[in-house]
């Protein structure tokens, strides 16, 4: 297939869109076979066209790589609107968690749900993201907190991929919170995560990466090191929720162990940014959670830029701290709250988001050999994606060379 008369944002150049004004892309076997200016389409592709290959005219529209939401908890049951009301009356997120609400409330609802319930409740959220150009999503477990329910969540994530025609990366987040039956026995729970839950989910082929939460309301750096060592034994990449509500040193530890990404980072001191740079760890910023928790402490964006740490952004879609199903709005928030440029925000949901998942050789830019995951937009200006609030210019999406409804 040849897609032509398009403005391409290839995202292959650092800090810029890598624009090709009158561009064309040829696709073969689900991958990008050639990309460049229309006048330079090679002979062999023109021959394929003459032999009946499909041609698609974009009418000058913008094409970007498919968007990647690299940090979500989209599979869960119920919602926490009542908790939102409490927080608006001045009760803090941490106080609600300590009183047995918060993540624990979603754990009860998720345990009570069947796998089919989880799929049915999560599908509308997933479709909403896809309608705005998301072609790859990372989905974490972490609301099951026992072997059976963590596997149920990851199985639902797998089923959603099939159902919706989207790429899904599954992340095991058994060390998200201490489940009620292990209250006061954190150490025993971490042993269960390492010795039973993670190996079982891995054996079921449901784990692409391992995540954890270092925080006062969750786990200590030492406990999470144990989880990461168990992940390493299985050859699995690691990532971490770190420095979201306080500075505990999780990001530094994770980078030291070669983490793919460290996520949130509002409380990361600028002097620890060099550790991320040295390890090639991606900084994943989550403006939806920053906004919804009314956080005021900003992540060290300037230091991340100075140290050339790749910045990704994601919705963090979850019922407690970021009930957000718009990656375009998230890009807008990254610009307004965190001072990213629109070009940085697009890179943060394409190539850098791919890096955060370890998939930078497969997706995230319009380059020969990568999967043909792309979005056609009803605009010719890539800055429009981060600029508009609530207007969705997505015209059509393609995943692996196939148009999606």
Binding site for Fe ion (CB under 5 A): 316
Q: Is residue 316 a contact point for ligand DI6 (CB under 6 A)?
A: yes
Q: Binding segment for ligand DI6 among 199-207, 319-327, 351-359, 381-389 (CB under 6 A)?
A: 319-327
And the tokens for 381?
A: 């200006």
And the tokens for 352?
A: 């850098």
Q: Nearest residue to ligand DI6, using CB?
A: 320
Alpha-carbon gap, residue 403 to 405, rounded angstroms: 7
Alpha-carbon gap, residue 217 to 94, rounded angstroms: 7
Question: How many residues at the interface with ligand DI6, by CB under 6 A?
Answer: 15
3-class DSSP state for residue 291? helix
Q: Binding segment for ligand DI6 among 24-32, 41-49, 198-206, 320-328 (CB under 6 A)?
A: 320-328
> Least separation, in Å, of the C-beta of 315 and ligand DI6?
11
> Least separation, in Å, of the C-beta of 252 and ligand DI6?
18
Q: At what angle do helices 115-131 and 147-164 cross, to 10 degrees?
A: 40
- Greatest alpha-carbon pair distance for the chain in Å reads 71
Figure out which of the listed residues 106, 122, 147, 261 binds ligand DI6, where binding follows CB under 6 A.
106
Burial status of residue 352 (CB atoms within 10 A of its CB: 0-12, 13-18, 19 or more):
buried
By CB under 6 A, the residues from 233 to 252 that bind ligand DI6 are 241, 244
Figure out which of the listed residues 321, 330, 350, 352 binds ligand DI6, where binding follows CB under 6 A.
321
Task: Using the structure block, give the residue that is written with the tokens 């609107």.
Answer: 81
244 interacts with, out of ligand DI6, Fe ion, none, CB within 5 to 8 A per kind? ligand DI6
Q: Is residue 292 a contact point for ligand DI6 (CB under 6 A)?
A: no
Figure out which of the listed residues 172, 189, 202, 213 binds ligand DI6, where binding follows CB under 6 A.
213
Alpha-carbon gap, residue 132 to 235, rounded angstroms: 34
Alpha-carbon gap, residue 333 to 348, rounded angstroms: 12
Q: Binding segment for ligand DI6 among 199-207, 297-305, 313-321, 381-389 (CB under 6 A)?
A: 313-321
Q: Is residue 189 a contact point for ligand DI6 (CB under 6 A)?
A: no
Alpha-carbon gap, residue 114 to 116, rounded angstroms: 5
Alpha-carbon gap, residue 394 to 401, rounded angstroms: 17
Asked if 87 contacts 94 with a C-beta cutoff of 8 angstroms, the reply is no
Q: Binding segment for ligand DI6 among 15-23, 148-156, 159-167, 312-320 (CB under 6 A)?
A: 312-320
> Least separation, in Å, of the C-beta of 176 and ligand DI6?
6
319 interacts with, out of ligand DI6, Fe ion, none, CB within 5 to 8 A per kind? ligand DI6
> Least separation, in Å, of the C-beta of 83 and ligand DI6?
8
> Least separation, in Å, of the C-beta of 297 and ligand DI6?
14
102 interacts with, out of Fe ion, ligand DI6, none, CB within 5 to 8 A per kind? ligand DI6
- CA dihedral over 21, 22, 28, 29, signed as positive or negative: positive
Alpha-carbon gap, residue 223 to 247, rounded angstroms: 16
> Least separation, in Å, of the C-beta of 290 and ligand DI6?
10
- CA dihedral over 213, 230, 364, 169, signed as positive or negative: negative
Where does this chain bind ligand DI6 (CB under 6 A)? Answer: 73, 102-103, 106, 176, 213, 241, 244, 289, 316, 318-322
């Amino acid at each position: 297939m040849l897609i032509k008369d398009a403005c391409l944002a290839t995202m292959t150049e650092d800090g810029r869109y890598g624009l090709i004004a009158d561009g064309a892309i040829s696709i073969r076997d689900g991958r990008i076979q050639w990309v460049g200016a229309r006048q330079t389409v090679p002979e062999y592709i023109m021959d394929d066209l003459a032999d009946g290959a499909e041609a698609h005219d974009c009418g000058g529209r913008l094409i970007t790589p498919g968007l990647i939401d690299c940090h979500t908890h989209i599979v869960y049951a119920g919602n926490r609107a009542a908790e939102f009301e409490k927080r608006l009356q001045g009760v803090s997120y941490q106080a609600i968690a300590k009183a047995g609400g918060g993540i624990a409330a979603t754990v009860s609802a998720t345990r009570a749900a069947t796998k089919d319930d989880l799929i049915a409740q999560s599908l509308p959220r997933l479709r909403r993201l896809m309608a705005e150009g998301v072609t790859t999503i990372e989905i974490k477990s972490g609301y099951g907190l026992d072997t059976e329910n963590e596997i149920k969540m990851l199985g639902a994530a797998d089923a959603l991929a099939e159902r919706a025609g989207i790429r899904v990366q599954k992340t095991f987040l058994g060390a998200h919170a201490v489940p009620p039956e292990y209250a006061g026995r954190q150490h025993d729970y971490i042993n269960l995560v390492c010795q039973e839950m993670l190996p079982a989910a891995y054996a079921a082929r449901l784990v692409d990466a391992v995540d954890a939460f270092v925080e006062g309301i969750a786990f200590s750096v030492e406990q999470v090191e144990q989880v990461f060592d168990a992940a390493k034994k299985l050859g699995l990449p690691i990532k971490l929720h770190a420095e979201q509500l306080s500075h505990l040193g999780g990001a530094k530890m994770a980078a030291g162990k070669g983490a793919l990404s460290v996520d949130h980072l509002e409380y990361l001191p600028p002097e620890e940014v060099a550790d991320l740079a040295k390890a090639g760890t991606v900084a994943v910023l989550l403006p939806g959670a920053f906004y919804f928790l009314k956080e005021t402490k900003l992540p060290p964006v300037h230091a991340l830029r100075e140290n050339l740490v790749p910045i990704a952004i994601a919705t963090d879609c979850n019922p407690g701290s970021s009930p957000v199903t718009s990656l375009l709005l998230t890009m807008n928030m990254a610009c307004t709250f965190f001072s990213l440029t629109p070009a940085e925000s697009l890179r943060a949901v394409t190539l850098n988001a791919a890096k955060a998942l370890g998939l930078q050789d497969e997706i995230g830019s319009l380059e020969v050999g990568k999967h043909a995951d792309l979005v056609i937009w009803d605009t010719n200006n890539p800055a429009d994606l981060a600029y508009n609030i609530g207007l969705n210019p997505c015209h059509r999406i393609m995943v692996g060379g196939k148009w999606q409804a």
